Amino acid sequence: MKFDITKIAHTILYMLDKDVKHLNDKKLSIMLFLIEYNHLENCGAKIFGDEYVKSTRNPEPKILGDIFNIIANEEDLEEEDERLYLITELLEYIDIEILAKQNFVELKFIKMEEEFDASLFEKPELISINKVINKYKDLSARNIANDTFKIDKVRETAKDEVII
């Protein structure tokens, strides 16, 4: 499956529309993992096409995590770099504010003119997305991350190895 930044962007728009609290890059990454895991378990397929690696605190998306690091560190990329295309595509739908905290950088998502487009998703995909959003929209990233470690596949996967 191909990595789908457009579906991720529209999922962010949907989360903003649904008033997901404390939505930053960390919470988004964990929620996307839970959506992807839930959909894979129930429907046998992924929605967004990223791989998730077990880290100490939570599953980390490989491609999206790399994109977020580039944005957070304001790195310059070569014109032919595929990641530049992905970042440009993401920024067509949402704006990203870089907030420097004491020990880390946080990315906050800001809605612009674009509206969520449900037609990009199949009905079962929307069910998986809604299930996770409804369950976790008011929780902090840390609380959601704790829930990922209740999943057998996460616990059984060695650190730095691919979960899904």
> Does 7 have pLDDT greater than 80?
yes
- Give 152's contacts (C-beta < 8 A, 6+ positions apart): none
DSSP 3-state percent helix, strand, coil across the chain (nearest 5): 50, 15, 35
**What residue spans define the domains of the chain?**
5-156
Answer whether 0.75 is exceeded by the pTM: yes
Between CA 77 and CA 15 the distance in angstroms is: 29
Q: Is the pLDDT of residue 102 over 90?
A: no
Interatomic CA distance for residues 28 and 31, integer angstroms: 5
pLDDT in tens, 144-162: 999 999 999 999 999 999 9
pLDDT in tens, 39-96: 999 999 999 999 999 999 999 999 999 999 999 999 999 999 999 999 999 999 999 9
